[in-house]
Amino acid sequence: MQGADRRARDTGGKTAWKLHIIRQLRHRDRAQHGNFQEFIQSYNKLLEKSVFLKDLTEKIQTDRAQSPGSHHAARISPEGLHIAGYKDADTLQEEISDLRCNNGELAYQVCELSKRVQERDEELKTQKSSISYLSGLVEDHRHQCQCLENEVVQMVCSNADLKEDYDQLLSQRLLLEGQLHEAEEEQRELIEGLTKKKAMEAEQQNNINERRKEEMWTLLVKKALRKTVSAEGDVRHRNSTDLSDCSSMEMSGSPEMEEPCPRKTRSQSMIALGPSRFMGALRSLFDFRKPQDMCSVDDEWYHASSVCVICCPPKRALYSKEIHDSEIHAVKFSPKSKMVATGGADRVVKIWDIVGGQLHCQQVLQGCNGGITSIEFDPSGVQVLAASFDGSAHLWKLDSKSSDKMTGHTGKVTAARFKMSTYRAVTCSMDRTIREWDLPKAACIRCISVPSYCSDVVCSDSYMISGHHDKKIRFWDSRCRLCVREVTLEEKVTSLYMEQEQTQLLSCSRDDALSLLDLRMGSVRMVFRADGFKCGCNWTKAILSPDTSYSMAGSSDGTIFIWNTRTGLLERSLAGEHSASVNAVAWSMSGDYVVSVDRAKKAVVWSEY
């Protein structure tokens, strides 16, 4: 049926265009015939007149040849009536000449019109051939249209089937999302319950510890009041007395036996201490510990690390030198000494000691297959953890010169940090993951997927904080993989720095600003900006001073900017030593020195004096 319909349409189409051509030819014939009808009639009349005049002329010439001129009038008298309207032969001859001229012009016009008719016929043939070609194209297009219509019908049917499948999947997804939401709510409730339970247990334990300490201090004060000490008494006698007291307490089984006996410590300045720092200094002043030879007379004095109570911003450069073969990315002070570590694109970590305001190389740590991005000392200062562009983190032990390598990331590792101990570490990478490591085993124990490229990470007692290129700072619960809080900045984050008390966090971002966050409130407390300060790269690192009174960062033009964290104003800027972008700065725990490194392989030691 479809073939018959198609043949009928084809026959009808061919007949239609033939009839159309015939109608056009007839219309053209009528138009041309009407335009030249007058000329044709005039031409026919002229032909008749020319034939008549030709016959008449031949007859007159014949009569003249046969008879003399005197009888001319008599001979032509029978035809006189017919030629009465003519004046004479000359006039007739002139009219004949005019008619011949007109006849020639009309003949010329007829030739021209014939030529135009031939040209039109040629054009008509060309148009017929083009019409045939276009008719073929029309048929092809009709066939293609039919095929496309069939395909559209099939697509509509398949789309309907896919729509049904999509609706089913959507309903399943909504159901699963509801179940997931319920599971998350249950998990959140469980976590909150566990957190409250742990907090209550910790509070109870703290109360017990406080009571024990109060009892111990009460007992010690009573014993001290019962003693009579002479100004010339023997120190050794007092120590032996204290030792016997400690032994008696252990034998009595009293609560005081759980606390070690006091030791001798160096005094620290109490100037401008806040409440938390005052209590920390007080605890360090009356610190107790349990060495194996507890309360021995021959014990050595414990030398605590020098802690800065008041920091002053540096004023001048003591030392400036190119210390690496390529640009330097990271610098870090040891928490226990004036030892400082640097690392950069030359794939090595160098350990320096500051003597007399100058850097003296003590050790070179090798083994990385890529540039160093960050450096971290453990709390004891004997281990160095470095992140590398080779997709791994490297751990060196300075005392034994041994090294471990932690692999598992598929992208460049941008930061590596110790997790409040020497046995755990956290790394972040460009592969959008954060990994927690067991350092003795060099094994990954947890992996957290993050939604954006992670530029830096820091760790506290209960959570990890990561900075990302999607302008967000995320807080992760250390016990699970949940993001418990997000803080959004104006631009992507380049570095994070958390002070020792874990109450403030300093971030640097590509909007040329440093943001100080209050971790207890979870919000930005202050933003530091300055004319001329520009963040030089995606890994520019900013720091806080040991007493958190100042924030510091290097600019792309080599200037170091220092802000006062109490007022938010620019305290000082150090220029003239660096000629390239400053990538990182470090402040010693004693507050005596600041070291800055740049892209031009140079390190500068700064001091207040």
Query: Which of the 8 DSSP states describes residue 421?
Result: S
- Using alpha carbons, select from 607, 609, 598 the residue that is nearest to residue 321: 598
First to last CA, the chain: 105
Between CA 601 and CA 580 the distance in angstroms is 9
Number of H helices and E strands in the chain, helices first, is 5, 28
| Beta-carbon contacts of residue 372 (< 8 Å; ≥ 6 apart) | 329, 330, 343, 344, 345, 347, 348, 349, 386, 387, 388, 389
Coil, helix or strand at residue 382: coil
Between CA 278 and CA 284 the distance in angstroms is 10
- CATH fold, domain 316-607, is Methylamine Dehydrogenase; Chain H (2.130.10)
Between CA 316 and CA 575 the distance in angstroms is 10
Per DSSP bridges, beta strands 392-397 and 383-388 are: antiparallel
Each residue of 343-376: b (16+ CB within 10 Å) or e? bbbbbbbbbbebeeeebeeeeebebbeebbbbbb
Q: What is each CA distance from 108 to 103, 112, 544, in whole angstroms? A: 9, 6, 110
For 161, the token pair is: 């089937």
User: Got the DSSP string for 69-115?
Assistant: GGGHHHHTGGGTTTTTT---HHHHHHHHHHHHHHHHHHHHHHHHHHH
- The pLDDT of residue 81: 39
Q: What is each CA distance from 146 to 4, 151, 269, in whole angstroms? A: 16, 9, 95
- CA torsion sign for 91, 95, 96, 101 is positive
- The pLDDT of residue 237: 40
Between CA 136 and CA 318 the distance in angstroms is 92
Between CA 427 and CA 582 the distance in angstroms is 23
Edge-to-edge strand ranges of the sheet holding 504-509:
493-498, 504-509, 513-518, 523-528
| Beta-carbon contacts of residue 25 (< 8 Å; ≥ 6 apart) | 124
pLDDT digits (tens, 9 = 90+) for 452-482: 999 999 998 788 999 999 999 999 987 777 8
- The pLDDT of residue 38: 75
Ranges under pLDDT 50 in the chain: 69-87, 228-306
Q: Do residues 493 and 456 lie in contact, with contact meaning Cβ atoms separated by under 8 Å? A: yes
- The pLDDT of residue 226: 65
- The pLDDT of residue 6: 60
- The pLDDT of residue 328: 95
Angle made by CA atoms 596, 602, 604, in degrees to the nearest 5: 40
- The pLDDT of residue 3: 56
What does the mean pLDDT of the chain come to?
79
Between CA 468 and CA 450 the distance in angstroms is 9
Q: List the domain boundaries for the chain.
A: 1-64+90-220, 316-607
Each residue of 112-138: b (16+ CB within 10 Å) or e? eeeeeeeeeeeeeeeeeeeeeeeeeee
Q: What is each CA distance from 171 to 160, 161, 519, in whole angstroms? A: 17, 16, 41
- The pLDDT of residue 11: 59
Q: What is each CA distance from 451 to 182, 242, 468, in whole angstroms? A: 23, 60, 9
Angle made by CA atoms 251, 253, 258, in degrees to the nearest 5: 105
Each residue of 559-592: b (16+ CB within 10 Å) or e? bbbbbbbeeeebbebbeebbebbbbbbbbbbebb
- The pLDDT of residue 13: 61
Between CA 475 and CA 479 the distance in angstroms is 12
- The pLDDT of residue 202: 79
Between CA 227 and CA 348 the distance in angstroms is 60
Tokens 């930061």, residue located: 415
Q: Which helix (H) or strand (E) holds 359?
A: strand 358-365
- The pLDDT of residue 82: 45
Q: Do residues 442 and 424 lie in contact, with contact meaning Cβ atoms separated by under 8 Å? A: no
